[in-house]
Structures are given as structure tokens and as C-alpha cells.
Homo-oligomer: A and B are copies of this chain.
């Protein structure tokens, strides 16, 4: 279904960038989860514009919860929330009506919605919709915390500038580090270099992208299903619903193409009476199902398509070639904000998988 994701824990998402509000309904969320408002606010704030490197649009983006929470604890009923659209400079976009911004969904949205869409600010395709994903994912994060599962994402690279690699021996510590930082790099010295790279792109009326790497730790083994609902299928499905994601890989990912089986296979070994693997090339998943090792994956975030320089394109309403100059707010990079969207959508998938496997009541238990 179009705007509903999940099997037993589902998120229904709605809204246009320049409509009254955006929001979501999280259904199948178990009863009795303590809702950590600070955690939600922390995740929401990480997604919001920050400093000169991001869009001028500054909205508090506080989700207003309408149902499903009583005295700070989930009721088990659907949790609905809305985020008001306060700061719509629609005028900025009016000039663009009928013009296909390159790399954007203006044209495809127009075809898909037969011309009835509200395209202002990207409409339903706006990156602003990711605020809904973060709010829902933050709720799921509250749930995962109660089971001891943690998730963190870092900017593995930004326009060629690389962060240091994970210390896989202590991912708990790495995740804690990332979640304490607003700019998600493991090597703190890389923040400034990356920010400069973003600034340089802005100066050039251009934009940059990069790679986000995510780790999920303390998952039970046996999570996910074979074939069609493999955890990889579920995570990939969710990640590609984040605008700008154009690729995903698990474990060694595309590097497997140059490896041999003897290098790629992760030998199992007993450790403290538990089955574990010596290496984690497969990113914690065998046959679509968790093996108890950290789930590791990375995505590529394409450079923001909204750039300030003049571009060639078409007016699809007039059926002719035109040039477009996009005024108004746009980010020379969104990867530093997208990291928390990736955390959030990961949390949603994992929470859904837990409820599917362990049920509505005992999802905190089980191997």
C-alpha cells in the first residue's frame, strides 16, 4: 500500500510540504512502552536545519500527539501525530509551476497524480515528510531501548571525504558516540572538513552527497524471514522510501564482487557459550535472518537536487524546453540530517520484525 509501511507495526504517512500539516499514524505499537520525549526531541532536532549548511526553513517541527499515549506510556492503540506547517514561503515556488526541476519528482508526480497534485515545495515528495519518519522511528526507538537494542549512523563519506571506519569491536561505544553528536562522524576532526566541503558546494551554487553507514546492535538471532520478508528486503524497502537514497548494501556489500568465498564467508565460533562469527562480512544477516551479530549496512545519498544555479529543463505543462533557476531555500547537503532518518526507519523495521516474531505482548522476551 502506497503510504502505509510495515506488517504488524505500520506507519501511515500523510502531508504536503505546503499544506496545513504533515503527520503519521503508528499502528500496532505495543502497549506499555515508556515514551521518552527527550529522545524524540533529540532525534527531531537532529533532522532539523542546523547552521549555515542547511536550509533557511526553521520550524520547531514538534510532533503533536493526538492519540495512543496516556501519561507518557503507549496505550497499544494507534499513535497519531501531526506536525504543523508554519513556514511556507509558497511564493518562492510559484514561478516553478509546471516546470520539472531536474532530479526532482515534479514531473513524475505530475504524471502519477494526473496533474492534481499540490507540487509547491515538493508537495508530498518533499524532504519535509522525513520529519514524520523520524517522529515514528523515535517512538520505535523507545521500544527498542526497552529491549536493549541500539542503532547509530555515521557519515561514512561526504563527496569523497571519508570518516574513519567503525571499531567493530566496540559498536556500543561507537553508537553512543554518534548519538551524542549533532554532526554524525566518528572521527571528530572530519566534521570541519566536511562542513567546508558543503560550504564550497554552496558557494558554487551546487550540492553534495555521500554515504551513510548504520549499525544495529543486540538484535536477537532468528529475526526476519526467508526470501520475501528477509530483513534485508524489509530494511531496503524502508531505506528507499527516504528521498535521495539511491543504493544500499549489507556487510561488505559491493566489495563482495571482488572477493572469493573463502574471504567472504564468516566462520562461526562459540564464544561464552554463544554462537557468534569471527568476522562480520555479511552484516549480521544470513539467509535474510539475523545471526546475532551487529546488522551493518550503508546507503548512498545522492547530492541534493535543488541547486541554485541555472539548469536546463522542460515545462511539462507547456511542453517546451526552458531554463530554471530555483530560488528559495535549499540545502547544499542533506546527508548530515538524513542520518537520523536512517536511524528512524531502521528502528521502524526492527520494531515491526520484533512484534511479528514475538507478538504483541512478549516482544521484550525471547532469544
Contacts and interface: CB of A to CB of B under 8 A. Distances in A.
Given A3-B27, A114-B76, A288-B240, A226 B8 contact: no
Contacts of A73: 116
Identical chains bound together, number? 4
A361 B223 CA distance: 12
A7 interface: yes
Contacts of A216: none
A88 interface: no
A310 to B, nearest CB: 10
Interface string A66-91: 11101001111111101000000000
Given A208-B260, A264-B305, A265-B103, A320 B270 contact: yes
Contact of A260 (B113, B117, B159, B273): B159
B225 A112 contact: yes
Interface string A268-287: 11100101011000110111
Contact of A301 (B8, B70, B256, B361): B256
Interface size of A as a range = 35 or more
B314 A269 contact: yes
Interface string A247-266: 11111111011111111111
Contacts of A210: 257
A105 interface: yes
A303 interface: yes
A228 B301 CA distance: 17
Given A32-B114, A358-B359, A270 B225 contact: no
A288 B287 CA distance: 27
A272 to B, nearest CB: 11
B257 A76 contact: no
Contacts of A117: 31, 70, 75-77
B78 A13 contact: yes
Contact of A221 (B108, B124, B306, B363): B108
A247 B240 contact: no
A78 B21 CA distance: 12
A292 to B, nearest CB: 8
B111 A67 contact: no
Contacts of A22: 66-67
A301 B205 CA distance: 38
A362 B366 CA distance: 9
A290 interface: yes
A75 B16 contact: yes
A315 B80 CA distance: 30
B226 A303 contact: no
A19 interface: yes
Interface in A1-29: 1-5, 7-8, 10-16, 19-23, 25, 27-28
Nearest to A81: B14
Contacts of A267: 102, 311-313
A320 B275 CA distance: 9
Interface string A216-247: 00000110111111101110111111010111
Nearest to A16: B67
A312 B266 CA distance: 9
A102 B261 CA distance: 10
A207 B264 CA distance: 10
A27 B287 CA distance: 18
